[in-house]
């Protein structure tokens, strides 16, 4: 998948959790926004590292599945006036905003790969779907 490097930077965190903030800052500098969509993570270290990289007036959105309480850096949040927001799934206006982003050319859908199967090939489609990752998906066409 290819993201717009002027707008979005992804960082794969490896090794020692004490280095996460440095790894993120080296790759992205200070961030305007952090979107935490981690799933099933046992500890809050990646989330805390992301909060630590936010610039003043930055926003952290929690949508992931961190399975522990997150000790927030209270003083840093206040001094930088950071906003923390939780979101389960997506807000009601999200489909409209996605359409606006498409119309404006800020959302490129080229990374999405669609695999179409005839209804008679449902077993093949299910097997394929179980192997897909990222933005790939399967569709059954009657």
| Strands 114-118 and 83-86, bridge-based pairing | unpaired
For the chain, give the mean pLDDT.
87
Structure confidence at residue 52 (pLDDT)? 92
> What is the structure's pLDDT at 75?
95
Homologous superfamily (CATH) of 1-110 is: NAD(P)-binding Rossmann-like Domain (3.40.50.720)
**Global confidence as pTM:** 0.60
Confidence at residue 4, expressed as pLDDT on a 0 to 100 scale: 67
Beta sheet of 54-62, edge-to-edge order:
31-36, 54-62, 83-86
Where do the CATH 3.40.50.720 domains begin and end in the chain?
A: 1-110
Kindly give the parts of the chain with pLDDT less than 70: 1-5
What's residue 55's pLDDT? 95
Query: Residue 52: what are its φ and ψ, rounded to 5°?
Result: -65, -20
Please give the C-alpha separations between residue 10 and each of 7, 24, 31, 62, in angstroms, as whole numbers. Answer: 10, 9, 11, 16
């Amino acid at each position: 998948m290819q993201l717009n490097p002027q707008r979005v930077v992804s960082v794969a965190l490896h090794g020692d959790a004490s280095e996460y903030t440095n790894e993120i800052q080296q790759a992205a500098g200070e961030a305007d926004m952090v979107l935490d969509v981690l799933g099933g993570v046992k500890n809050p270290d990646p989330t805390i590292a992301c909060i630590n990289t936010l610039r003043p007036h930055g926003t952290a959105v929690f949508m992931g599945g961190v399975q522990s309480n997150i000790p927030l850096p209270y003083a840093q949040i206040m001094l930088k006036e950071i906003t923390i927001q939780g979101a389960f799934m997506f807000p009601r206006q999200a489909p409209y905003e996605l359409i606006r982003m498409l119309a404006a050319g800020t959302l490129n859908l080229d990374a999405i790969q669609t695999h179409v199967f005839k209804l008679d090939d449902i077993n093949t489609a299910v097997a394929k779907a179980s192997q897909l990752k990222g933005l790939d998906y399967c569709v059954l066409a009657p």
